[in-house]
Amino acid sequence: MDNPLRWLALVLLDAPRLLAFDELADYVSQHFPEMPRPALAGTTDSLLTFSVGDYTAAITLVPSPVPWSQLEGPCATAWYWPAAESELKDHEAHLFITLVDDGGNAIEKSTRLTQLVAAAAATSPARGVFWGPGRLVHPVPGFIEQALQLSADDLPLFAWVDFRVEKMQPDSLRLYTTGLEPLGYPELEIADFQGEAQQMLEYAYNIAHYQVSQSKTINEGDTLGLTDQLQAVAYRQGSMFNEQMEVIALKFQPTGE
């Protein structure tokens, strides 16, 4: 959690142009009134550095596209944005936005970075957003909408976390997340689910939102009620991809077993 580049996002641009700091600060003040107004610390033709309350942030103009090798996978799995590849493939430049990680609350840092990225996207010739901690791409209007609706009770986990659904057998699905660990919680995995993908996604999202928004620790053997008939049992174990990384593996069973 101490990597100073952990909290980063990219705004993909139609043209290589650094945004105007005053426009960014005005957008923040108008749309995120609870957020401290950014205060400029320094500027060059390609860099803005500024403070946001106790945080230090930087926006760097990179006058070249993000290498497609870094975007191809996230675009291919962006089920919520079918046009991601066609929209992003020929972008011309990008903004590299960072929030210096010097400790503090991960949810607050995610919130501040989300609001800054939304403001930058709204005041730039933006084509899309790449959220670094979860390795996700987002359309600009959708990302801004999630930022505007963000609250302590309604965290934008779909903006922050990749809930990856994969079909394993004709009647079996699996799910795993990327992006919960930067928020301070274990990733979730479901190795075998018999049912509809949308239903599995809803269950995983609700469990993730419960632990993050309520600061709840899910322990080995905890049962999590989902419906009157169904519950999930949590197991702390090695990931299906990396045994050295502990995740919360969820298994489903009828309520009461």
The last residue of one of the domains, among 129, 158, 187, is: 158
Domain extent for 239: 161-254
What pTM, to 2 d.p., does this model score?
0.91
Residues 192-247: tens digit of each pLDDT:
999 899 999 999 999 999 999 999 899 999 999 999 899 999 999 999 999 999 99
Residues 237 and 130 in one domain: no
Residues 140 and 225 in one domain: no
Angle between helices 106-122 and 140-149 (to 10 degrees): 130
Answer yes or no: are the C-beta atoms of 57 and 50 closer than 8 Å: yes
Residues 123 and 35 in one domain: yes
Instruction: Tell me how far CA of residue 11 lies from CA of 14, 22, 49, 133, 241, in angstroms.
Output: 10, 18, 16, 14, 30
Residue 2 belongs to some domain of the structure: no
Provide, rounded to the nearest whole percent, the portion of the chain with pLDDT above 90.
87
Spacing of C-alpha 2 from chain mean position: 18
- Residue that the structure tokens 């909290």 belong to: 7
pLDDT of residue 257: 64
Residues 5-53: tens digit of each pLDDT:
478 999 999 999 999 999 999 999 999 999 999 999 999 999 999 999 9
Of 119, 97, 93, 98, which Cα lies nearest the Cα of 37?
A: 119
Residues 174 and 241 in one domain: yes
- Amino acid sitting at position 208: A
Q: Which residues pair with 163 in a beta bridge?
A: 177
- Amino acid sitting at position 252: F
- Rounded Cα–Cα distance for residues 117 and 9 (Å): 7
* Sheet of strand 188-193, all strands in order from the earlier edge strand to the far edge: 162-169, 172-178, 188-193, 246-254, 230-238, 223-225
pLDDT of residue 1: 40
The last residue of one of the domains, among 124, 142, 158, is: 158
pLDDT band at 169 (very low <50, low <70, confident <90, very high): confident
Instruction: Tell whether the model's pLDDT for residue 83 goes beyond 50.
Output: yes
Angle between helices 106-122 and 21-31 (to 10 degrees): 120
Residues 15 and 138 in one domain: yes
- Rounded Cα–Cα distance for residues 192 and 173 (Å): 6
* Sheet of strand 136-138, all strands in order from the earlier edge strand to the far edge: 39-43, 47-52, 55-62, 93-99, 8-13, 126-131, 136-138
Compute how many other C-beta atoms are within 10 angstroms of the C-beta atom of residue 26: 15
Domains: count for the chain: 2
